[in-house]
Structure 1
Amino acid sequence: MDARLTRQLFSPRMLVAFLMGFSCGAPLLLTSTVLQAWMTEQGVDLTVIGFFSLVGLPYTLKFLWAPIFDRFTLPFLGRRRGWMLLMQLTLILALIGLGLTDPGQTPWLVALAAFFVTFFSASQDIVVDAYRREDLSDNQLGLGSSFYVNGYRVGMLLAGSGGLILADYLSFDQVYLLMAASLLVGIVTTLVCREPPLTRGTPRNFREAVVEPFVDYFNRDRALLLLLFILLYKIGDQMASTLTTPFYLDLGFSKTQIGAVAKLFGFWSTIVGGLVGGTILLRIGIIKSLWIFGILQAVSILSFSALALMGNTITGLIVAIVLEQLTSGMGTCAYVAYMASLTNKKFTATQYALLSSCMGIPRVIIAAPAGWLAELVGWPLFFFGCAVAAIPGLLLLPLVAGQYRRDSQ
């Protein structure tokens, strides 16, 4: 490992990216998986539990209030750190409030508290994404993004799996208090990290804050094509991951087998994939990484087709999960770095919120027809189709690469 790469891997900026990722990832499952388990235990109707998924809307609509974080600077800690600290404090208070509710008696109050958690969590995501883009240089974005994504997944693991395990020994209100305390990691990181330099100024009025970020983006050459690429690049991977659990169950694997393999092999494969992807990206750049990782993503999906043909085999399950999660982690690293590179630093919060919201659209749209398609053609052909679905995004890459070079110049 050369000295330059070693300095990058162990730089304070990478540690900040990892810890901020942890702070952003931990709240996510506390309003979905863990909350659903709590409500089920309290005897809440399944229909009501289903409607609780709507409290996650702030994650997909966050671009609507992102201009606030570009326009205004709080009178402490600077433009980014001030907002990060405020959102982290309010998020902790919202989690404590959620833990003090009673799903069995006042589900409407639970819904309100959960909504505040997702709102402040999505707001923290906006500011942290903007901070990361402005704190890291262009050649550090890939490695920094991999550290952020890995921190995010560790936070999800702690809150999701850790929260459910703790719930066997503690009451759910105590679990939420512990999870709220874990977010002190983000507050400490915000207090000790540096404020990114302000290189492009700040919006001075409503028009500059709300209208110009969108005008600025869509005035660039091939703006719609770049947006289409963001929508399509990971669609095959997202399409396959939508139905993996029903697929495993249909092959006869037990829930214990799925949980053990997915949590153990899947989690660590994603972590390794992110680190390897970030390291490779640092050496060869964003565009070459998008090519290599995109092809690997598509090919790895075929391991699910092979598993469908082989049937119930633990070895096949491990290989399929490791390959898919490893390449998905690498692809996500390059994908997130590319999106960050598209933003204008004057409007980082707004433009990145717009692009990251678009990133989630395919997952929502394909969730409904994916099950119907799998039933129609069977699992082997379904996953083959998922691999083929990755091709349109790859076909756009030559045009994306040309535009990236022009923008860099």
Structure 2
Amino acid sequence: MANPPQAAHRFHLRDIVQDRRILLMLALGFSSGLPLLLVLGTFTLRLAFSDIDVRAIGLFSYVALPYSLKFLWAPAIDRLNVPVLSARLGRRRAWMVTTQAAVALCLVLMAFSDPKTNLALLGLGAFLVAFCAASQDVVVDGWRIDAAGSDFQGILAATSNLGYRLGLIAAGAGALFIAAAGGWTLAYLTMAALMLVGMIAALLAPAFDAPARVQVDSTGHSRFWSMRRAVLEPLTELHGRFGGALWGILLLVALYRLPDFLSGVMASPLYRTLGFDLKEIATVTKLYGIWVGIAGGFAGGWALARLGLFPTLLLGAFLAAASHLAFAWLSAGAPEIWRLTVAISIENFCGSFAGIVLIAYMSSLTSTAYAATQYALFSSLYALPGKLIAGSSGFVVASIGYPAFFVMTSLVGIPVLILCLAVGRRGQRQDEAAARAAEEAGNRIPAPELPSTARASGTA
């Protein structure tokens, strides 16, 4: 593999023009962010405006599970070749083009599936989009790591995050404005066409492929990876450092954003129930709201730098849970734009604040030798419990109503605060490399694999 230079690199504006990796990463980040809301916030709005029962809308949140389970097939994508294409494009680029084309085709399937007559087919299309998009994320992240070296990771990570958010805007506000003007079929077909942005970038990208790590067992048969090296050793290393406290740390990671995942699925049906139209939702939640989320991310980075990791971890847990009371207030009043704006402002700011803090905390827990694998495990763990439980949120809303539901999700933050007090300081007792990773995470706006409440509700 032709590695980029490892010398220290200071970013200048001219790099945007001179180093094509930045523009390519921007396009690939856009391609990664585009499918997310099309199976989450925008998708649930489509269901809500098709008068699908709120309990069914909650259950459809399970179609996004591949985003949380992608670590299961990530080793195969990282090591296996795509027939024919890999020989021509290289492994990374072949997988990028394959997954991007698959996402586009599945979006076409969703475009022509009417929720009122082909709800099951629409759900299948959404699941396939999530699976292919999650696989795309794996290979795009792999390309970014291989392409950047150690000196350029921060720049490419920030560029990827910007492209990711642009993709979220297109799939959020863009899709809703198109749907309001020309219908959902046109909206999803347009989103399918926009996947060409990533496909063109993948074809133009250099093939920074790491050689396949082939091992030979005692019988002489080659194998592509070792389960021990891929999973067991990173987990063993974590247990060796943290001991019995590791279980509390894992529980904290799993529950930290749980209130957001519980409430996020029900945000779109709430807008529909209150009587807001697609243009109002697009303007407030998907255009205005994203800038509030960006401000929350910067505030989280500032707090990490000024207050330290542990105090900010506590503050993020409190803000993320308490902010759900804004949706409880919104759901109990009249459908006025100013009320929606206030609720979105509070929810998005606090959600992004907590998101950046969690990224910093998870980064601080990893070791240098197993950083990629351990962070992948943590990032999958933080989203999985919430996604598993969120499917029942529609049944809870049907039973107790929206105001009580959002108060309940806010109360979930109490055990999270207790866990922060019990084990949250452990993330500060790591070596300098982990501390630097936390600081780096604290100075960029997060774009996690699965949405917080802000993202799930269509704001980012």
TM-score, normalised via structure 1 length: 0.72
Match runs of 1:163-182 below 5 Å: 163-170=175-182, 172-182=184-194
Calculate percent identity across the aligned residue pairs: 29
Gaps in structure 1 of 5+ consecutive residues: none
Establish whether residue 152 from structure 1 lines up as the match of residue 164 from structure 2.
Answer: yes
Question: Once the two structures are superposed, what CA deviation does each residue of 1:144-164 show, in whole Å capped at 9, x if it has no partner?
Answer: 555544533432332243223
Alpha-carbon distance, 1:183 to partner: 1.0
Q: For 1:21, which of 2, 16, 29 is the aligned residue?
A: 29
Local SS of the residue matching 1:403: coil
Question: Once the two structures are superposed, what CA deviation does each residue of 1:232-257 show, in whole Å capped at 9, x if it has no partner?
Answer: 4434555565666788899xx75357
The CA distance in 1 between the partners of 2:42 and 2:300, in whole Å, is 31
The CA distance in 2 between the partners of 1:142 and 1:129, in whole Å, is 13
Q: For 2:236, which of 219, 228, 244 is the aligned residue?
A: 219
The CA distance in 2 between the partners of 1:34 and 1:64, in whole Å, is 27
The CA distance in 2 between the partners of 1:376 and 1:151, in whole Å, is 34
Local SS of the residue matching 1:117: helix
Alpha-carbon distance, 1:182 to partner: 0.5
More helix by share: 1
Contact 2:62 2:387 in 1 (8 A): no
Establish whether residue 186 from structure 1 lines up as the match of residue 198 from structure 2.
Answer: yes
**Equivalent residue number for residue 315 of structure 2:** 295
Alpha-carbon distance, 1:125 to partner: 1.8
The CA distance in 1 between the partners of 2:433 and 2:172, in whole Å, is 43
- Give the number of aligned pairs: 400
Establish whether residue 398 from structure 1 lines up as the match of residue 418 from structure 2.
Answer: no
Amino acid corresponding to residue 391 of structure 1 in structure 2: L
Q: For 1:66, which of 74, 88, 106 is the aligned residue?
A: 74
**Equivalent residue number for residue 100 of structure 2:** 88
Amino acid corresponding to residue 190 of structure 1 in structure 2: A
Contact 1:25 1:151 in 2 (8 A): yes
Local SS of the residue matching 2:182: coil
**Equivalent residue number for residue 292 of structure 2:** 269
Amino acid corresponding to residue 168 of structure 2 in structure 1: M
Local SS of the residue matching 2:87: coil
Local SS of the residue matching 1:208: coil
Pair 8,357 (structure 1): closer, same or farther in 2 beyond 3 Å: farther
Establish whether residue 202 from structure 1 lines up as the match of residue 213 from structure 2.
Answer: yes
Pair 339,93 (structure 1): closer, same or farther in 2 beyond 3 Å: farther
Match runs of 1:1-400 below 5 Å: 4=10, 15-31=23-39, 52-73=60-81, 74-100=86-112, 109-136=121-148, 145=157, 147-170=159-182, 172-196=184-208, 198=210, 202=213, 204=215, 206=223, 208-220=225-237, 221-222=241-242, 224=247, 226-235=249-258, 237-238=260-261, 241=264, 255=276, 260-274=283-297, 284=305, 288=308, 292=312, 295-296=315-316, 298-299=318-319, 301-302=321-322, 305=325, 318-336=341-359, 339=362, 342=366, 348=372, 353-364=376-387, 367=390, 368=392, 382=408, 385-392=411-418, 394-395=420-421, 396-400=423-427
**CA RMSD between the two structures:** 5.0
Local SS of the residue matching 1:255: coil
The CA distance in 1 between the partners of 2:299 and 2:15, in whole Å, is 11
Contact 2:30 2:167 in 1 (8 A): yes
The CA distance in 2 between the partners of 1:150 and 1:298, in whole Å, is 27
Amino acid corresponding to residue 236 of structure 2 in structure 1: N
The CA distance in 1 between the partners of 2:197 and 2:322, in whole Å, is 39
Structure 1 stretch displaced more, 176-185 or 50-59: 50-59
Structure 1 stretch displaced more, 130-139 or 307-316: 307-316
Local SS of the residue matching 2:193: helix
Pair 398,196 (structure 1): closer, same or farther in 2 beyond 3 Å: farther
Alpha-carbon distance, 1:215 to partner: 0.9
The CA distance in 1 between the partners of 2:30 and 2:430, in whole Å, is 33
Local SS of the residue matching 2:225: helix
Question: Once the two structures are superposed, what CA deviation does each residue of 1:100-156 show, in whole Å capped at 9, x if it has no partner?
Answer: 556666655545444432221121122223334454567876675555445334323
Structure 1 stretch displaced more, 115-124 or 235-244: 235-244
Pair 294,6 (structure 1): closer, same or farther in 2 beyond 3 Å: farther
Gaps in structure 2 of 5+ consecutive residues: 1-8, 216-221, 437-460
Local SS of the residue matching 1:75: helix
Pair 55,208 (structure 1): closer, same or farther in 2 beyond 3 Å: same
Pair 219,39 (structure 1): closer, same or farther in 2 beyond 3 Å: closer
The CA distance in 2 between the partners of 1:362 and 1:53, in whole Å, is 13
The CA distance in 2 between the partners of 1:174 and 1:344, in whole Å, is 47
Contact 2:41 2:265 in 1 (8 A): no
Amino acid corresponding to residue 397 of structure 1 in structure 2: G
Pair 99,33 (structure 1): closer, same or farther in 2 beyond 3 Å: same
Question: Once the two structures are superposed, what CA deviation does each residue of 1:27-74 show, in whole Å capped at 9, x if it has no partner?
Answer: 233345655676788898988777655543423332222121222253
